[in-house]
Amino acid sequence: MGHYATVWDDKAATEVIKDWNGIDQIVLRNPHGASAKISLHGGQVISWRNELGEELLFTSNKAIFKHPKAMRGGIQICYPQFGDCGLLDQHGFARNKIWVIDENPPPLNSNETVGKSFVDLLLKSSEEDLKYWPHSFEFRLRVSLSVDGDLKLISRVRNINGKPFSFSFAYHTYLSVSDISEVRIEGLETLDYLDNLCKRELLTEQGDAITFESEMDRTYLRSPKVVAVLDHERKRTYVIGKEGLPDTVVWNPWDKKSKTMADFGDEEYKSMLCVDGAAIERPITLKPGEEWTGRLMLTAVKSSFCFDQLELQSKGF
């Protein structure tokens, strides 16, 4: 379990609770009232609230909270496959597994712990996994909440196999928005993307910003380390920083597809948007003993700044 710096001892807490299925959840808090909740089911962040108690992540009202079904919402860990572009089930198996708390993880840089509440989780390949994905691995995930309320996820995948293996990956991040028609994304202009609605056709973004009028499912290639999601109605901007994740996935199912999804409300597409830090176009290959690290940092700020300030917002990332 993670620890706090000394000054946090009387102001913040890390708590382990159980959901109605008896599965552990870890609650992280900071001194100003922000919080995050992580379930051992899938190693999934299922809540991230700011200091006002406002929920920043979307979860469907029809989400199925029963193992091994993945929950529709929060931040899902898609590993070792993203989407259906492989032999495994949609988005791989990590999001369906029960993770464990890692009491003694290999060290990270000291700045990954100072002024943060955090928890370390661990997933190892099981005998069942090896039957349909024959590669031994250790997946370590740290989730931390800073004194400023920023949410950070660090994934470390180590190959403990006797031969190389490759995988794709994404932090499948469901953001809560006021109205999808009032939202735009900045930072992906002029980039090439794969249109997953048109057989992964390679196209180039033409707009000054990404806005939404219909279903969208795109993988932006070689995207910048920082992008922004601006919610005009709520006057909130999500700043999304990433490292080790060259691609960015943008997804909203819109009305027709929403009606085909049993764990998603017909009108819920209006209040959510997925923007994922990912490694999809070029899968990650690890030799025996090698380790890959992928980082995601989410910040929610008032929308009173311009895109040029994004690098400042991602300080310390």
Torsion of CA 20, 174, 32, 300, to 10 degrees: 180
User: Does the annotation place 90 within a ligand binding site?
Assistant: yes
- Tens of pLDDT, residue by residue over 11-34, are 346 899 888 888 899 999 999 999
User: Which of 306, 9, 294 lies closest to 153 in space, CA to CA?
Assistant: 294
Q: What radius of gyration do the chain's Cα atoms show?
A: 19
83 vs 95, residue with greater confidence? 95
User: Does the annotation place 295 within a ligand binding site?
Assistant: no
For residue 80, is the peptide bond before it cis, meaning its omega torsion is within 30 degrees of 0?
yes
Q: Tell me, what's the pLDDT at 143?
A: 97
- Tens of pLDDT, residue by residue over 44-78, are 999 999 999 999 999 998 888 777 778 899 999 99
Q: Tell me, what's the pLDDT at 312?
A: 46
Q: Tell me, what's the pLDDT at 64?
A: 83
User: Does the annotation place 44 within a ligand binding site?
Assistant: no
Q: Tell me, what's the pLDDT at 303?
A: 75
Query: Average pLDDT for residues 147-175, to the nearest whole number?
Result: 96
Asked whether residue 220 carries a pLDDT value surpassing 50, the answer given is yes
User: What does pLDDT average to over the chain?
Assistant: 90
Asked whether residue 8 carries a pLDDT value surpassing 50, the answer given is no
What burial class does residue 83 get, using C-beta atoms within 10 Å of its C-beta: 0-12 exposed, 13-18 middle, 19+ buried?
A: buried
CATH number of 14-184+220-315: 2.70.98.10
**CB atoms < 10 A from the CB of 181, how many?**
12
List of residues 6+ apart from 100 with CB closer than 8 A: 40, 121, 122, 123
Q: Tell me, what's the pLDDT at 3?
A: 44
Give the integer Cα–Cα distance in Å for 246 and 248: 7
Asked whether residue 105 carries a pLDDT value surpassing 50, the answer given is yes
User: To the nearest whole percent, how much of the chain has pLDDT over 90?
Assistant: 75
Query: Average pLDDT for residues 149-167, to the nearest whole number?
Result: 96
Domain boundaries, the chain: 14-184+220-315
Cα distances (Å, whole numbers) of residue 22 to 18, 120, 124: 5, 20, 21
Predicted TM-score (pTM) of the model is 0.92
